[in-house]
Every structure is written in structure tokens, then in C-alpha cells.
Amino acid sequence: MKLPNKVTIKEVGPRDGLQNESQQVGTDNKTAWINRLSESGLSYIEVTSFVHPKWIPQLADAKEVLSSIKRKPGVTYAALVPNRRGLERALEGNVDEVSVFMSASETHNKKNINKTIADTLPVLKEVVQDAKAAGKSVRGYLSTVIACPHEGLIEPERVKAIAGELREMGIEELSLGETIGVAVPSQVERLLETLLPDFSEKFLAMHFHDTRGTALANVWKSLEMGITTFDSALGGLGGCPYAKGAAGNVATEDLLYMLGAAGIETGVSMDKLIEAGSYMESVLGKPMNSRQMEVYRKVEVE
Ligand code: HMG
Ligand code: MG
């Protein structure tokens, strides 16, 4: 078994994590949290999204967050963008990288962005073109790559076809979203076996939600298959409000523990992550949902 020596962790907590928090978090708290994350050695932080504020009120302060964070050189500050209006707002906030997103499932796509898949593709194409013309790099997300809460299992060939359309638009990387956290490693293997003959390992990233505790096993399977970029959210925060039952992302600190113990380099400091996690626990007034934070809390008490 050959594992990669080095992995990139992309922190999505401030976006994916907070979009699913019902309790409104203040702009100052978001900024202070992102600044702490910037000090942890992470090279990529998805800080917010420029979606319609009525759809995701928690992230209505996207521009303020982007303009008030302290940008650390070497860190990419990215944001989710659904359409041209979102891109205009993101560019006003001087985002470093834009993430476009859509779903492999027709029903989830409609519920999430209010369009059919066929109608979404030209919208994203325009965003990718305009973002690149403005000098920004662009990442794509494809959601429900294993299963949809409404349509059930999604065929890997379907994922491959839409992934091809997104690559054609000129995105630099595609993150495969296991949106509802139902996948097991054999399904991830089948998906990647379908995609990898046509897509390079470096072009793909994996985005696992952890509803059923299988996210780390799925990460491991992906590592074995050569994937080296993983999305995660500090404290296991997150979920998609338009995918009922979806729990948080795999927790960054749990991912880091597994990678570190396996001798895989990430450049991220566990102590700094825990510090940022403790800060967010105090802001949210509840414990974070991660094994590492649990271990830390126990050690603190002893
Ligand atoms: P819509 O209502 O169909 O939009 O929403 P529209 O294009 O018909 O426009 C209606 C009005 O909204 C217009 O204003 C637009 O200007 C305005 P009016 O002319 O009526 O005054 N508008 C906007 N305003 C601000 N920012 C914008 C924007 N767009 C239009 N960007 C839309 C379509 C896509 C905007 C909406 O459905 C939306 O915001 N959806 C986002 C839902 C969301 O954020 N979901 C969670 C993120 S995805 C996710 O979590 C999955 C992921 O983590 C991967 C995984 O886990 O699988 C990425
Ligand atoms: Mg997600």
C-alpha cells in the first residue's frame, strides 16, 4: 500500500460549518476565528459564501468578513459563489479564489440553487470565465456524488459526466462532495475507479460529511487511491441546509490526527487548531463535535 507523503487540508468550517448553525455568529467572532485558523499552518480557508442572504442568513456578512480578516501571506482565502451576482460581491471583497458549486442529483440541485442541472451549467461557465478574467483561480464542487437524500444512490458515470463539464469550463480543481455522509469505502472506491482513468488525482479533492462516522475511513480509501486534497471543518461543524439529515464535515483535527499518525505531512499544527476550536466552542456555547476536542477537554480536566 502506497500512501502520499503530503496532503493539503482545505478548511471549510467558516463556510460549510457556519452555514448550518442556527445561532447567528457575529462578524467579529467569525473574523477572530478565521484569524486563528490562519495561524495554524492551513494554506487554504473557505471563509464564507456569496449566496443569496435570504437563503443563508448566517453568511449575509460575507463581504465584511472577507474585508476584515487579517490575510496571512501564503494562505488562500476562498468563497462559494453561485452566480454572477455572487461573483460581483466576492470580487468587491477581493476574494482569492472562487468556488462554484452544483449537484450530481437533479432534485438536490433544484432545492439548493433553484435551477435544473442543464440551466446551472451556463451560469457556472460564465462565473468561471469572469472570475478567471479577474485573475482569480476557480474551484468546483460537485455535491451528492454518492447519494442524494431525495433520489438515493447516484451512479458514478453520472458524476463523471458532470465532472467533465466542469473541467471543460476551466476549473482548477474539483471537490467531490459526499454531502449527506452515507458513503462507505467500497462506494468511494467505485466512484474513484470510474473517475481516475479520466481525471488526475491532483485535479480531485474529497469532501466528506460524517453523518454516520465513515468519513475518516473514506479519506483513507481515497488516500490509497492517490487523492491528496481533503476538505474538512474544524470541530466537525457543517452540513447543507438543503440536504435534510446531513451532519457536519469530517473534523479537521480528527483528519489531522489520522494523517499525522500515518506520517503524512500537512504543515498544520494540532495545538493551534485546538486553540481555534476552543475559541469557537466559547462563541457557540457548546462543545465541538470532534474526537480530538473531546480528548483535549478530558486532558484539561485532569
Ligand atoms: P434565486 O432566487 O433563483 O435567484 O436563487 P435569482 O437569480 O432568480 O435572483 C433573485 C433575486 O436574488 C435577484 O434580486 C438577484 O439579484 C438576487 P432582485 O432582482 O429580485 O432584487 N440574487 C442575489 N443576491 C445576492 N447574492 C447572490 C444573488 N443571486 C441572486 N449571489 C440562488 C438562486 C443560487 C442565489 C439561491 O438558490 C442560493 O443562494 N442558494 C444557495 C444555497 C446554499 O448556499 N447552499 C449551501 C451551499 S452548497 C453546500 O453546502 C454543498 C458543499 O458543501 C459540497 C457538499 O457538501 O456536497 C459545497
Ligand atoms: Mg459540504
Show the domains of the chain with their CATH numbers: 8-301 (3.20.20.70)
User: At 190, which amino acid appears?
Assistant: R
Q: Which atom number of ligand 1 is nearest to the Cα of residue 99?
A: 58
Contact 37, 300 (CB under 8 A): no
pLDDT digits (tens, 9 = 90+) for 143-186: 999 999 999 999 999 999 999 999 999 999 999 999 999 999 99
Contact 166, 142 (CB under 8 A): yes
Q: From CA 301, how far away is CA 229, in angstroms rounded?
A: 35
Any catalytic annotation for residue 148? no
Contact 123, 86 (CB under 8 A): no
For 39, residues 6+ apart whose C-beta sits below 8 A from its C-beta are 72, 272, 276
Q: What is the dihedral of CA 118, 120, 126, 129, to 10 degrees?
A: -90
* Three cell numbers written together for 60: 449575509
- Within 10 Å of residue 286's Cβ, how many Cβ atoms? 12
Q: Which residues of 46-69 are buried (b: 16+ CB within 10 A; e: fewer)?
A: bbbbbbbeebbebbbbbbebbebb
pLDDT digits (tens, 9 = 90+) for 46-95: 999 999 999 999 999 999 999 999 999 999 999 999 999 999 999 999 99
CA dihedral over 58, 64, 67, 69, signed as positive or negative = negative
Question: What residue owns the CA closest to ligand 1's atom 48?
Answer: 240
pTM of the model: 0.97
Q: Ligand 2 center to residue 177 CA distance, Å?
A: 6
Quote the mean pLDDT of the chain. Answer: 96
CA dihedral over 124, 126, 128, 130, signed as positive or negative = negative
Q: Ligand 2 center to residue 144 CA distance, Å?
A: 9
The pLDDT value recorded for residue 239 is 80
Whether 41 shows a pLDDT value over 80: the answer reads yes
pLDDT digits (tens, 9 = 90+) for 234-259: 999 988 888 877 889 999 999 999 99
pLDDT digits (tens, 9 = 90+) for 86-103: 999 999 999 999 999 999
Q: Which is the catalytic residue, given 146, 219, 240, 280?
A: 240
Residue 263, SS3 per DSSP: coil
Q: Ligand 1 center to residue 271 CA distance, Å?
A: 36
Q: From CA 154, how far away is CA 159, in angstroms rounded?
A: 8
Confidence of residue 222 (pLDDT cuts 50, 70, 90): very high
